[in-house]
Structure 1
């Protein structure tokens, strides 16, 4: 199910999404402490890279709640060092992990000191890598989300495996990737999509109208998934 939230400008979109994500994180934190006598648990928050999330991440970094109990990670990342301009990890450090959010812990997806295959195996075996309580996705104009690309040789595996993490080699985009799998994304309690412009809205509408070989269509057509879409017209 898609719930659309539309905005005329990026500032309003970023502010509204930051508030919604803050509320979702605080609700997740409260749920972790609902049982008497149980020590306060942690929640996991996954974010996307690219240029679109930058204003939202900077706004969210100021939200005042207990970030010390939040594990921040990524929805996906390119197989490059975190000093590379293409690294989503670098973006998160420059934007989100500042101000109040500097108190969060960070769980990277990429470690280029090993191989991509070995890293994915380690992530899948790590008990700290829980399915995110809250995640903010992006979407390409080809309908990919996270790094689940329809033209990647791993497409079928990525949308069917019960593993949480997959290695992806897109045919139409640079760099190998580490990505959360489709089954993991469908388990996220609070799932958001941040997009802008009429072309991406057209892609989303077409993908949600009928099941297509596009990652966003796989999510939008799953009746068990609620996707809150924060769309800016410009």
Structure 2
């Protein structure tokens, strides 16, 4: 399949969350039918509270064989286990508590109180990614990667003008001076994110409109990092009406 990059517009935030959740469940069922295992990569924030929570509350989730689903994170805040700022903490409440994914299929990044440094945590996660990689790859080719976007255009923990944007020889890198607290984070790099089969980017709110317009217009990755993400098969920006204000008409898709 040729890579496609399209925008799907929804009337409001609630419709956006419900729609992406339904599409996610349908696609995971298809992937499991085709290959018997699904690997997903997720971020926290609005992706968790909007989309993963809707999946967790959907009756259709019962149609998924969750024992064959593996969950990974695209980034994590370097804070202690159980801290509310950790992405995995919100994901646990919104999603993982509502589906039957075996503990061994859940792959969180290390917390700050794990007894290792942030650099060691990055290397540890790289090893875990490598162990799950198919032949000739150094990380899983995620079937779906769910990303959010900040008003500054950052995605995962890849921030405008930061050196992590240009790293291609690492899979996981630390961030020591995030402009959003907490300052220290771990993040996947572009090569791992862009090896995903499908990248789904979730945006809502008028404050995201200019960022989305710039990303789709080809603004530099240094300026708008989310513009640098692209799935191998498909890249879809799922947005609400407020965030779609500056999207060119030719990029708005009527269907998935």
TM-score tier, shorter chain, comes to: 0.7 to 0.9
- Distance in 2 (CA, whole Å) between partners of 1:95 and 1:138 is 16
Residue in 1 that maps onto 2:12? 9
Residue in 2 that maps onto 1:88? 87
- Distance in 1 (CA, whole Å) between partners of 2:229 and 2:165 is 14
Secondary structure at 1:30 match in 2: helix
Residues 1:202 and 2:210 aligned together = yes
| Inter-CA distance 233–201: structure 2 relative to 1 (3 Å threshold) | same
**Contact kept in structure 1, 2:141 and 2:197, CA below 8 Å:** no
Residue in 2 that maps onto 1:39? none
Secondary structure at 1:227 match in 2: strand
Residue in 2 that maps onto 1:109? 109
Residue in 2 that maps onto 1:54? 49
Shift of 1:155: 3.1
**Worse-superposed segment, 179-188 or 205-214:** 205-214
| Inter-CA distance 182–55: structure 2 relative to 1 (3 Å threshold) | same
Unaligned runs of 5+ in 1: 34-41
RMSD of aligned Cα (Å): 2.0
Shift of 1:136: 0.6
Residue in 2 that maps onto 1:152? 162
Residues 1:136 and 2:134 aligned together = no
| Inter-CA distance 226–205: structure 2 relative to 1 (3 Å threshold) | farther
- Distance in 1 (CA, whole Å) between partners of 2:150 and 2:233 is 20
Secondary structure at 2:238 match in 1: strand
Secondary structure at 2:202 match in 1: strand
Question: TM-score when scaled to structure 2?
Answer: 0.78
Shift of 1:88: 0.4
Unaligned runs of 5+ in 2: 133-138, 243-256
Shift of 1:91: 0.5
- Distance in 1 (CA, whole Å) between partners of 2:200 and 2:180 is 23
Residue in 1 that maps onto 2:121? 119
